[in-house]
A and B are shown apart, each in its own frame.
Chain A
Amino acid sequence: MAKSLETIPQMNPMFWKELGDEIADKIRVDTIGGKDVNGRAFKPYKTHPPFWFSKKVKGKTISIYAEDYKTRKGRGGMKRQSSTSSKPDLQLTGDMMRNLQVRGVTPYGVTIGWSGTNAEKVQWNADMGRTVTSNSKPLSDKVWKFAEKELSKQMDKNLKLVAETTTITIG
């Protein structure tokens, strides 16, 4: 007798947590590698020739030598700097990409993302044309395919747990 759908085991929260960790790491690898959610290279940094300007700090006028972000980042030496890549990799200290983590797990799914200002930084980068994720396209096609494959594998496993073998005796 065939079993009803309700008897098929639900996804285990541990499965979702593992899938969430896998997806987060794949996004991290793509982002650090300079690729956006569409698989394209991030928009390059804007550059400008260095210049001097004056600024009043606590009543004193000081002169500041202004270089573009690409140059400053490439030279290194900034506080807690983790990346000196002159190509956008959305990393300076690495705090933002480290903050991408599994945020919630239920028997029905997993939530991954950023918290607090790190989430604001991701949005700010998207506004600047460097999108890691968006409402219309949360995952890249490659990561989406991976998630579908893993989900399908787990569903097959669950189905096998309730499948029955029918033995037909001939003769």
Chain B
Amino acid sequence: MPDFKDIASGKFANSTKKMQELLVSNIMDLRKQGMAREEILLVLQALDMEDLILNQLGFQADIDALMLVYEKALTGMEMTGTVTNEVLSALLEMDRATFMREAGMMGENIRKQVARGVITGATEKEIAEGILNGAGGVLRSDQAETLANTGLNTFERNVTAEMSNFDPAGATYVYQGVVDDKTRDICLDMVSAGAMTREDIDSQYPGAFGDGGGFNCRHRWARETSSSKKLSDKKGAQTVISGKQKQGKWQTPQTYQQQVNG
């Protein structure tokens, strides 16, 4: 049975691709209208890319549709205690802002790529293909899909993190999830760390209580229970780490937040 998050992420990826194609086609129409290279560059320079993408090309509606799926993720949750509507609204708005910012950045990168194409005399097809393949750092549709999927998973983790306010101050957590050849170094490191308090997690792995290991992560911090040893392969993670260390393939990994903040 397909996951509604996969469907929503897939739709968002398709919308991103369509929007990019439409944007390039709109800009290249200027050439068809007989504008010279310099004129096209001047028009490009003056364009408000964020407004063009969000409002004129309707990408705002795609972000709104994705946010509706966020709300669906909450179905069945009992909002008691600290998980208030205000907290949920704040979490939703933060993610909405992320997608809007991403749309703006995408617009700037597309502007640069199209300008480069116009200068070098590339065809519309060549420029569009370059952009769709991620040239110049433009968000590819598969990256948009990952962004949407990860956003939804992180949102669920944040709601769960709110629930942890019912845990006593000294409660310990373990990092649950699979240890395999795809597991990131940061996730291996957190699995191998064993049980930790929330305070220790936040200081040693900043942001990881909510982000997990980052994009497409298959892990989560969970309260330590009598069954934790069966659900968190600490020894397995340690074995993989020491193997990597012997091969000289291990560097102290960083959390997603540490990477973003440099």
Chain A residues within 8 Å of B, Cβ to Cβ: 13-14, 17-18, 21-22, 25-26, 28-29, 32, 80, 82-83, 93-95, 98-99, 101-106, 111, 113-121, 124
Contacts and interface: CB of A to CB of B under 8 A. Distances in A.
Contact of B76 (A105, A106, A119, A124): A119
Contacts of B153: 95
A99 B1 contact: no
25 contacts: A13-B166, A14-B166, A14-B167, A17-B163, A17-B166, A21-B222, A21-B223, A80-B218, A83-B178, A95-B5, A98-B177, A103-B76, A103-B78, A104-B77, A104-B78, A104-B79, A105-B81, A113-B76, A114-B76, A115-B74, A116-B73, A116-B76, A117-B5, A120-B1, A121-B3
Interface of B: 1, 3-5, 72-81, 153, 156, 160, 163, 166-168, 176-178, 180, 216, 218, 220, 222-223, 225-228, 230-231
B66 to A, nearest CB: 14
Contacts of B72: 116-117
A99 B156 contact: yes
B230 to A, nearest CB: 5
Contacts of B160: 101
B227 A115 contact: no
Contact of B178 (A21, A29, A82): A82
B74 to A, nearest CB: 6
B76 A28 contact: no
B178 A117 contact: no
Nearest to B179: A82
Given A26-B225, A82-B218, A102-B166, 8 more contacts: A13-B81, A80-B216, A95-B3, A103-B78, A105-B80, A105-B166, A117-B4, A120-B1
Contacts of A113: 76
Contacts of B176: 98
A33 B218 CA distance: 18
Interface of B is mostly: loop
A118 to B, nearest CB: 8
B74 A116 contact: yes
A120 to B, nearest CB: 7
Nearest to B79: A104
B75 A116 contact: yes
A18 B4 contact: no
B218 A94 contact: yes
A137 B236 CA distance: 35
A104 B185 CA distance: 34
A21 B225 contact: yes
B77 A115 contact: yes
Contacts of A124: 1
A28 B75 contact: no
A17 B81 CA distance: 12
Given A80-B218, A99-B156, A103-B77, A116 B230 contact: no
Contacts of A105: 80-81, 163, 166
B82 to A, nearest CB: 10
B76 A82 contact: no
A79 to B, nearest CB: 8
A80 B177 CA distance: 12
Contact of A29 (B81, B167, B216, B230): B230
Chain A to chain B: the 4 pairs with minimum beta-carbon distance, closest first: A104-B78, A117-B4, A25-B227, A17-B166
Nearest to B1: A124
A22 B230 CA distance: 12
